[in-house]
Protein backbone atom coordinates (compact mmCIF):
# COMPACT_ATOMS: atom_id res chain seq x y z
CA UNK A 1 0.00 0.00 0.00
CA UNK A 2 1.36 3.43 -0.97
CA UNK A 3 2.14 5.79 1.88
CA UNK A 4 1.34 9.44 1.22
CA UNK A 5 3.15 12.33 2.85
CA UNK A 6 1.11 15.45 3.59
CA UNK A 7 2.95 18.64 4.54
CA UNK A 8 1.89 21.99 5.94
CA UNK A 9 4.16 25.05 6.04
CA UNK A 10 3.69 28.42 7.73
CA UNK A 11 5.76 31.16 9.32
CA UNK A 12 5.66 33.64 12.19
CA UNK A 13 7.51 36.93 12.43
CA UNK A 14 7.62 38.16 8.83
CA UNK A 15 6.38 41.65 9.72
CA UNK A 16 8.25 42.59 12.95
CA UNK A 17 11.42 44.67 13.19
CA UNK A 18 12.63 42.79 16.28
CA UNK A 19 13.03 39.08 16.90
CA UNK A 20 13.31 36.17 14.48
CA UNK A 21 11.48 34.99 11.41
CA UNK A 22 10.49 31.36 12.03
CA UNK A 23 9.15 28.99 9.39
CA UNK A 24 8.08 25.40 10.04
CA UNK A 25 7.06 22.39 8.00
CA UNK A 26 5.03 19.57 9.52
CA UNK A 27 4.82 16.24 7.66
CA UNK A 28 2.08 13.68 8.25
CA UNK A 29 1.89 10.23 6.66
CA UNK A 30 -1.19 8.17 5.87
CA UNK A 31 -2.11 5.26 3.66
CA UNK A 32 -5.11 7.11 2.21
CA UNK A 33 -5.40 9.40 -0.79
CA UNK A 34 -7.32 12.23 0.90
CA UNK A 35 -5.61 15.04 2.76
CA UNK A 36 -5.73 14.21 6.48
CA UNK A 37 -7.46 16.46 8.99
CA UNK A 38 -6.67 16.44 12.72
CA UNK A 39 -10.02 18.08 13.43
CA UNK A 40 -12.11 15.53 11.55
CA UNK A 41 -10.12 12.49 12.73
CA UNK A 42 -10.07 13.22 16.46
CA UNK A 43 -13.70 12.54 17.42
CA UNK A 44 -13.96 16.07 18.78
CA UNK A 45 -10.90 15.91 21.05
CA UNK A 46 -8.90 18.26 18.79
CA UNK A 47 -10.70 21.46 17.83
CA UNK A 48 -10.22 25.06 16.83
CA UNK A 49 -9.65 28.00 19.18
CA UNK A 50 -12.55 28.71 21.56
CA UNK A 51 -13.98 25.22 21.14
CA UNK A 52 -15.03 24.44 24.74
CA UNK A 53 -15.47 20.73 24.02
CA UNK A 54 -12.00 20.19 22.56
CA UNK A 55 -9.21 19.02 24.84
CA UNK A 56 -6.55 20.30 22.42
CA UNK A 57 -6.69 23.39 20.21
CA UNK A 58 -5.09 23.40 16.77
CA UNK A 59 -5.68 26.58 14.79
CA UNK A 60 -4.10 29.63 13.23
CA UNK A 61 -1.66 30.71 15.93
CA UNK A 62 -3.07 34.24 15.98
CA UNK A 63 -6.55 32.92 16.78
CA UNK A 64 -5.17 31.05 19.80
CA UNK A 65 -2.53 33.49 21.03
CA UNK A 66 -4.92 36.44 21.33
CA UNK A 67 -7.07 34.66 23.93
CA UNK A 68 -6.62 35.02 27.68
CA UNK A 69 -5.18 31.50 28.05
CA UNK A 70 -3.72 31.53 24.56
CA UNK A 71 -0.07 31.00 25.45
CA UNK A 72 -0.94 28.01 27.61
CA UNK A 73 -3.03 26.49 24.80
CA UNK A 74 -0.27 27.21 22.30
CA UNK A 75 2.30 25.40 24.42
CA UNK A 76 -0.02 22.48 24.99
CA UNK A 77 -0.71 21.90 21.29
CA UNK A 78 2.89 22.30 20.19
CA UNK A 79 4.48 20.17 22.92
CA UNK A 80 1.89 17.44 22.36
CA UNK A 81 2.75 17.47 18.64
CA UNK A 82 6.47 17.28 19.40
CA UNK A 83 5.85 14.27 21.63
CA UNK A 84 3.79 12.61 18.88
CA UNK A 85 6.67 13.18 16.46
CA UNK A 86 9.17 11.62 18.87
CA UNK A 87 10.71 14.97 19.80
CA UNK A 88 9.33 15.30 23.30
CA UNK A 89 12.52 15.35 25.40
CA UNK A 90 13.22 19.10 25.08
CA UNK A 91 12.95 21.00 28.36
CA UNK A 92 14.70 24.25 27.38
CA UNK A 93 14.25 26.60 24.45
CA UNK A 94 17.65 25.77 22.85
CA UNK A 95 16.79 22.06 23.12
CA UNK A 96 13.47 22.69 21.40
CA UNK A 97 15.25 24.54 18.59
CA UNK A 98 17.68 21.63 18.27
CA UNK A 99 14.83 19.11 18.09
CA UNK A 100 13.06 20.99 15.30
CA UNK A 101 16.05 22.24 13.32
CA UNK A 102 15.75 21.58 9.60
CA UNK A 103 18.48 19.41 8.01
CA UNK A 104 21.54 21.40 7.03
CA UNK A 105 20.66 24.36 9.25
CA UNK A 106 23.39 25.53 11.60
CA UNK A 107 22.61 26.53 15.16
CA UNK A 108 22.45 30.27 15.74
CA UNK A 109 24.67 30.10 18.81
CA UNK A 110 25.90 33.69 18.55
CA UNK A 111 22.41 35.16 18.41
CA UNK A 112 20.64 32.82 20.81
CA UNK A 113 23.36 32.70 23.45
CA UNK A 114 23.49 36.49 23.61
CA UNK A 115 19.91 36.69 24.85
CA UNK A 116 20.36 33.56 27.00
CA UNK A 117 23.11 35.29 28.92
CA UNK A 118 21.92 34.05 32.33
CA UNK A 119 20.29 30.68 31.73
CA UNK A 120 18.50 28.71 29.07
CA UNK A 121 14.76 29.35 29.06
CA UNK A 122 13.01 26.41 30.69
CA UNK A 123 9.82 25.19 29.04
CA UNK A 124 6.88 25.03 29.31
CA UNK A 125 6.25 28.48 30.75
CA UNK A 126 2.48 28.83 31.30
CA UNK A 127 1.62 25.14 31.09
CA UNK A 128 2.03 23.10 34.27
CA UNK A 129 4.28 20.06 34.14
CA UNK A 130 1.38 17.89 35.31
CA UNK A 131 -0.84 19.09 32.51
CA UNK A 132 1.70 18.52 29.76
CA UNK A 133 2.33 15.00 31.12
CA UNK A 134 -1.43 14.31 31.03
CA UNK A 135 -1.69 15.81 27.53
CA UNK A 136 1.15 13.67 26.21
CA UNK A 137 -0.29 10.58 27.93
CA UNK A 138 -3.66 11.16 26.20
CA UNK A 139 -1.93 10.87 22.80
CA UNK A 140 -4.44 13.12 21.00
CA UNK A 141 -2.52 13.14 17.73
CA UNK A 142 -1.76 9.42 17.77
CA UNK A 143 -5.45 8.58 18.34
CA UNK A 144 -6.34 10.27 15.05
CA UNK A 145 -4.48 7.54 13.19
CA UNK A 146 -2.33 10.19 11.50
CA UNK A 147 1.44 9.94 12.01
CA UNK A 148 3.49 13.12 12.43
CA UNK A 149 6.75 11.98 10.87
CA UNK A 150 8.73 15.23 10.71
CA UNK A 151 8.80 18.70 12.22
CA UNK A 152 11.35 21.03 10.62
CA UNK A 153 11.89 24.65 11.56
CA UNK A 154 14.22 27.42 10.51
CA UNK A 155 14.70 30.25 12.99
CA UNK A 156 16.27 33.26 11.36
CA UNK A 157 17.43 35.85 13.88
CA UNK A 158 17.89 39.52 12.93
CA UNK A 159 21.61 39.14 12.12
CA UNK A 160 20.99 36.26 9.71
CA UNK A 161 17.90 37.99 8.34
CA UNK A 162 19.92 41.12 7.58
CA UNK A 163 22.76 39.10 6.03
CA UNK A 164 20.27 37.84 3.45
CA UNK A 165 19.56 41.38 2.26
CA UNK A 166 22.55 41.54 -0.07
CA UNK A 167 22.51 43.18 -3.48
CA UNK A 168 18.95 43.59 -4.70
CA UNK A 169 17.52 41.02 -2.29
CA UNK A 170 14.35 42.10 -0.54
CA UNK A 171 12.54 41.00 2.58
CA UNK A 172 10.38 38.77 0.38
CA UNK A 173 13.53 37.17 -1.05
CA UNK A 174 14.73 36.27 2.44
CA UNK A 175 11.34 34.75 3.19
CA UNK A 176 11.41 32.78 -0.08
CA UNK A 177 14.91 31.46 0.62
CA UNK A 178 13.80 30.03 3.97
CA UNK A 179 10.79 28.39 2.31
CA UNK A 180 13.00 26.88 -0.41
CA UNK A 181 15.28 25.34 2.24
CA UNK A 182 12.31 23.57 3.82
CA UNK A 183 11.12 22.29 0.45
CA UNK A 184 14.65 21.13 -0.37
CA UNK A 185 14.72 19.17 2.90
CA UNK A 186 11.61 17.31 1.76
CA UNK A 187 13.06 16.82 -1.72
CA UNK A 188 16.20 15.24 -0.26
CA UNK A 189 14.40 13.05 2.28
CA UNK A 190 14.57 9.46 0.98
CA UNK A 191 11.41 8.64 2.97
CA UNK A 192 9.41 11.27 1.08
CA UNK A 193 8.41 9.40 -2.05
CA UNK A 194 5.58 11.71 -3.06
CA UNK A 195 4.18 14.64 -1.12
CA UNK A 196 1.32 17.10 -1.16
CA UNK A 197 2.36 20.42 0.33
CA UNK A 198 -0.02 23.18 1.42
CA UNK A 199 1.21 26.50 2.71
CA UNK A 200 -0.12 29.96 3.41
CA UNK A 201 0.24 32.53 0.65
CA UNK A 202 3.51 34.51 0.80
CA UNK A 203 2.10 38.00 1.27
CA UNK A 204 0.64 39.28 -1.98
CA UNK A 205 2.63 36.89 -4.16
CA UNK A 206 0.64 35.06 -6.83
CA UNK A 207 3.34 33.39 -8.96
CA UNK A 208 5.71 30.78 -7.48
CA UNK A 209 7.04 28.80 -10.44
CA UNK A 210 10.33 30.70 -10.67
CA UNK A 211 10.94 30.24 -6.96
CA UNK A 212 10.20 26.51 -7.14
CA UNK A 213 12.56 26.14 -10.10
CA UNK A 214 15.43 27.01 -7.73
CA UNK A 215 14.55 23.96 -5.62
CA UNK A 216 13.87 21.70 -8.59
CA UNK A 217 16.39 22.81 -11.24
CA UNK A 218 15.89 21.27 -14.65
CA UNK A 219 12.63 19.63 -13.63
CA UNK A 220 9.34 20.30 -15.41
CA UNK A 221 6.85 22.14 -13.18
CA UNK A 222 3.18 22.01 -14.18
CA UNK A 223 1.24 25.15 -13.34
CA UNK A 224 -2.35 24.97 -12.18
CA UNK A 225 -4.41 28.03 -11.43
CA UNK A 226 -2.60 31.14 -10.16
CA UNK A 227 -4.91 33.59 -8.41
CA UNK A 228 -5.00 35.89 -5.43
CA UNK A 229 -6.50 33.12 -3.30
CA UNK A 230 -4.72 30.01 -4.57
CA UNK A 231 -1.75 28.97 -6.73
CA UNK A 232 -1.09 25.30 -7.56
CA UNK A 233 1.92 23.46 -8.99
CA UNK A 234 2.95 19.88 -9.68
CA UNK A 235 6.59 18.76 -9.81
CA UNK A 236 7.37 15.41 -11.42
CA UNK A 237 10.67 13.93 -10.23
CA UNK A 238 12.49 10.71 -11.04
CA UNK A 239 10.39 7.58 -11.36
CA UNK A 240 6.96 7.98 -9.80
CA UNK A 241 7.98 10.71 -7.34
CA UNK A 242 5.70 13.71 -7.46
CA UNK A 243 5.39 16.86 -5.35
CA UNK A 244 2.11 18.80 -5.50
CA UNK A 245 2.25 22.28 -3.97
CA UNK A 246 -0.64 24.58 -3.17
CA UNK A 247 -0.27 28.15 -1.90
CA UNK A 248 -3.56 29.21 -0.31
CA UNK A 249 -4.87 32.33 1.37
CA UNK A 250 -5.91 31.57 4.96
CA UNK A 251 -4.44 28.08 4.84
CA UNK A 252 -3.38 28.47 8.49
CA UNK A 253 -7.05 28.59 9.52
CA UNK A 254 -8.47 26.12 7.00
CA UNK A 255 -5.90 23.28 6.99
CA UNK A 256 -5.09 21.56 10.28
CA UNK A 257 -1.51 20.64 9.31
CA UNK A 258 -0.73 24.22 8.24
CA UNK A 259 -2.37 25.43 11.45
CA UNK A 260 -0.01 23.24 13.49
CA UNK A 261 3.01 24.58 11.59
CA UNK A 262 1.74 28.10 12.33
CA UNK A 263 1.56 27.30 16.05
CA UNK A 264 5.06 25.81 16.17
CA UNK A 265 6.54 28.82 14.37
CA UNK A 266 4.69 31.21 16.69
CA UNK A 267 5.78 29.46 19.88
CA UNK A 268 9.45 29.29 18.81
CA UNK A 269 9.32 33.01 18.06
CA UNK A 270 7.57 33.90 21.33
CA UNK A 271 10.14 32.02 23.40
CA UNK A 272 12.86 34.06 21.65
CA UNK A 273 10.97 37.29 22.43
CA UNK A 274 10.68 36.35 26.11
CA UNK A 275 14.46 36.04 26.30
CA UNK A 276 14.98 39.22 24.26
CA UNK A 277 12.66 41.28 26.47
CA UNK A 278 14.16 39.84 29.66
CA UNK A 279 17.64 40.82 28.49
CA UNK A 280 16.65 44.46 28.12
CA UNK A 281 14.37 44.66 31.16
CA UNK A 282 17.27 43.46 33.33
CA UNK A 283 19.21 46.50 32.12
CA UNK A 284 16.38 49.05 31.94
CA UNK A 285 14.02 48.56 34.89
CA UNK A 286 10.42 49.50 34.09
CA UNK A 287 10.84 49.14 30.33
CA UNK A 288 7.65 47.90 28.70
CA UNK A 289 8.17 44.64 26.75
CA UNK A 290 7.60 44.57 23.01
CA UNK A 291 6.23 42.11 20.48
CA UNK A 292 8.60 43.65 17.93
CA UNK A 293 6.07 44.96 15.42
CA UNK A 294 6.53 48.33 13.65
CA UNK A 295 5.48 51.31 15.71
CA UNK A 296 6.09 49.80 19.13
CA UNK A 297 9.44 48.49 17.90
CA UNK A 298 10.52 52.09 17.28
CA UNK A 299 9.60 52.95 20.88
CA UNK A 300 11.61 49.99 22.14
CA UNK A 301 14.61 50.83 19.98
CA UNK A 302 14.75 54.44 21.20
CA UNK A 303 14.84 53.18 24.80
CA UNK A 304 17.42 50.45 24.29
CA UNK A 305 19.81 51.82 21.67
CA UNK A 306 21.91 53.89 24.12
CA UNK A 307 22.50 50.76 26.25
CA UNK A 308 23.26 48.75 23.11
CA UNK A 309 26.01 51.23 22.22
CA UNK A 310 27.46 50.92 25.72
CA UNK A 311 27.47 47.13 25.34
CA UNK A 312 29.08 47.35 21.91
CA UNK A 313 26.08 45.58 20.38
CA UNK A 314 25.72 46.54 16.69
CA UNK A 315 22.23 47.51 15.61
CA UNK A 316 22.27 44.91 12.80
CA UNK A 317 22.42 42.13 15.36
CA UNK A 318 19.04 42.90 16.87
CA UNK A 319 17.18 45.27 14.50
CA UNK A 320 16.00 44.21 11.06
CA UNK A 321 16.85 46.56 8.23
CA UNK A 322 13.43 46.03 6.58
Per-residue pLDDT tens digits for 74-131:
999 999 999 999 998 888 998 999 999 999 887 766 677 778 765 678 999 999 989 9
Q: What domains lie within the chain, and their CATH numbers? A: 4-275 (3.30.420.10)
Considering only 34-38, 89-93, 214-218, which range has the smallest mean pLDDT?
Answer: 89-93
Per-residue pLDDT tens digits for 284-311:
999 999 999 998 999 999 999 999 999 9
Q: What is the pTM of this model?
A: 0.96
Cβ–Cβ under 8 Å, residues 252 and 60 = yes
Q: State yes or no: pLDDT of 16 exceeds 70.
A: yes
Can you give the pLDDT at residue 108? 66
CA distance 214 to 198: 18
**197-222: average pLDDT:** 94
Cβ–Cβ under 8 Å, residues 71 and 290 = no
CA distance 68 to 71: 8
Can you give the pLDDT at residue 65? 97
CA distance 196 to 33: 10
Amino acid sequence: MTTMRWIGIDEAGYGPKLGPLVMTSVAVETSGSNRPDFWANSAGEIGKARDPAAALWIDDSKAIYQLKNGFERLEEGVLAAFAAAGLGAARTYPELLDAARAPGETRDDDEISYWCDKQALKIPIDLSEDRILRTVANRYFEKTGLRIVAVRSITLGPARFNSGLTGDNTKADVHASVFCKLIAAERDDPAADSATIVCDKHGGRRFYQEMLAEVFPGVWIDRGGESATRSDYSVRLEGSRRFDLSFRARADGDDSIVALSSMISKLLREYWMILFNSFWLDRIPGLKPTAGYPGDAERFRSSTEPIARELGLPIDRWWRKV
